[in-house]
Amino acid sequence: FWLSAFDCPHCGNKNNEVMYVDEIPIRCCCYTLKISSGNPEMLNRQVVKSEHATIKIPELDFEIQSEARRGSLSTVEGILMRAADELQERCKNVAPETAEAIDQFLVKLRACCAGESSFTFVLDDPAGNSFVENPFAPSSDPSMTIKFYDRTPEKQASLGYQVTQIGGTPDEALSEVSNQVKGEPHGSVGAAAGHRAIAQSNSAEIAEALFRYSTPEEVMTFPTTCYAGCAGGCETRMFEIDIPYFKKGIIMAFTCDVCGYRNSELKAGGGFAEKGKKMTLHVKNVNDLNRDVIKSDTASVQVPELDLELASGTLGGVVTTVEGLERVHGFTFGDSLDEHSRSKWLDFGARLNKLLSLEKPWTLILDDALANSFIAPATDDLKDDKQLMFEEYERTWEQDEELGLHDMDTSSADAAYESANTSSSE
């Protein structure tokens, strides 16, 4: 993202704004930070808030709406102090009764700013572009939870993204696409509904990794519109592949000939797995680094030797190798990073490079509640690969609830199947 800063030496007015220039995130994000009283360090956490994000403090029934701010880079304390100052200014232009109520509220809000009261800081961003610092990174933060969720059509429209399909009828849309899409097929292309995929990206590397598993014998196409925002008529191409030792999948490929946006995604074939799956790979040689890895959006990643733990949804879905998974994010530090954080991340980067250089063996653990992730074996028979272990487990009630499995109603489909079976028997 771009960070613009403004400082007037004459009147003292200061401001900064965050502008995003990266690809559109597929999912929304929600950060929930529990801040206890007497712990001022938690108020110093950096917060990146996009222009579409809302901030809530449930204990005070207080909300900073998305329209109230542009994208900003601040801290928890800075955001609350600025909100308090703006409310203080409004007291000058309201009735005395309202001003008194605001003053009483400001006492509670400033107590939170000073770390005198415990409260919950909730940052919810339908654009998926916001962030709250984790000082324990790369380990998990016991005081913070991160939730990634699908974007509804209403939120899609509020962000200015294309939702509805152009064209009066499917035949008209198909005719329009046929007239627009000419020439050779696209090699690395994308999908129109990436938020439900095992992995998706507009990266040519992921597209190449997907297409090398199989050569499609039959490609199905259907008309759609560019969901990147230009609303151009396009085609989505789809075909089925069978990944050895894993499962059948569906590759969906999309390219917009109007704006040039492209994306590729891999969807799981079949229904939901009855059990979750945990994969443990003991990395000892170069061949292990070159093993194919499919990490779904619901999988968590652990490397015990680095004290590294990435919750599900952190990296999204990726198709790569063991080495590529560990290199998925580089390290770039700005001038504002304090020396302690800088030295900690430099030490982490050095330890990571040692593992990738195979100076000592290390362990990669993928835990996927939907069993949609995969590490390729090095032998023809899975039982002969002593460095790779698979473990199936029963999902907890909380995991099923987070995945939305409790909300699924299959009664109508079950009744239809039973009726069809009864008719065929007769």
Give domain status of residue 5, yes or no: no
Least confident of 2-11, 81-90, 145-154, 155-164: 155-164
Degrees, nearest 5: CA angle 354-357-359: 65
Give domain status of residue 18, yes or no: no
The reported pLDDT for the residue numbered 425 is 59
Radius of gyration, CA atoms only, the chain: 25
Do both 195 and 261 map to the same domain? Answer: yes
Give the chain's length: 426
Boundary-marking domain end, from 158, 184, 208 = 158
The reported pLDDT for the residue numbered 51 is 85
> For 64-91, how does the pLDDT look when each residue is reduced to its tens digit (9 = 90+)?
988 655 778 888 998 999 888 888 887 7
**Do the beta carbons of residue 287 and residue 213 sit within 8 Å?**
no
Four-residue CA torsion sign, 378, 355, 201, 47: positive
Do both 258 and 294 map to the same domain? Answer: no
Closest residue by Cα to residue 264 from 252, 273, 249, 246: 252
The reported pLDDT for the residue numbered 90 is 77
> For 101-145, how does the pLDDT look when each residue is reduced to its tens digit (9 = 90+)?
888 899 999 999 988 999 999 999 998 889 998 888 777 888 999
Give domain status of residue 382, yes or no: yes
- How many CA atoms within 13 Å lie on the side-chain side of 355? 25
Number of domains in the chain: 3
Can you list the alpha helix ranges (DSSP code H) found in 162-276? 170-180, 204-211
Domain limits for position 317: 276-329+344-407
* DSSP symbol at 217: S
Whole-angstrom distance, CA of residue 81 vs CA of residue 78: 5
Whole-angstrom distance, CA of residue 132 vs CA of residue 122: 10
Do both 39 and 114 map to the same domain? Answer: yes
Do both 241 and 153 map to the same domain? Answer: no
Do both 377 and 283 map to the same domain? Answer: yes
Q: H or E segment at 18? A: strand 14-19
Give domain status of residue 114, yes or no: yes
Give domain status of residue 38, yes or no: yes
Do both 68 and 139 map to the same domain? Answer: yes
Amino acid (one-letter) located at 71 = G
Give domain status of residue 205, yes or no: yes
Four-residue CA torsion sign, 93, 94, 96, 102: negative
The reported pLDDT for the residue numbered 181 is 38
Do both 292 and 226 map to the same domain? Answer: no
Do both 385 and 290 map to the same domain? Answer: yes
Boundary-marking domain end, from 224, 251, 268 = 268
Do both 69 and 90 map to the same domain? Answer: yes
Give domain status of residue 365, yes or no: yes
> Which CATH number goes with the domain that contains 361?
2.60.120.1040
Place of tokens 């095992």: 198
Boundary-marking domain end, from 106, 134, 158 = 158
> For 339-373, how does the pLDDT look when each residue is reduced to its tens digit (9 = 90+)?
777 777 778 888 888 888 899 999 999 999 888 88
Strands of the 262-268 sheet, one edge to the other: 199-201, 262-268, 248-255, 233-242, 220-225
Do both 114 and 86 map to the same domain? Answer: yes
* DSSP symbol at 178: H
DSSP strand pairing (2-7 vs 62-64): unpaired
Cα separations in angstroms, 90 against 86, 95, 250, 334, 405: 7, 10, 56, 36, 47
For the CA atoms of 369, 373, 375, 381, the dihedral, rounded to the nearest 10 degrees, stands at 80
**Does pLDDT of 35 surpass 90?**
yes
**Does pLDDT of 407 surpass 80?**
no
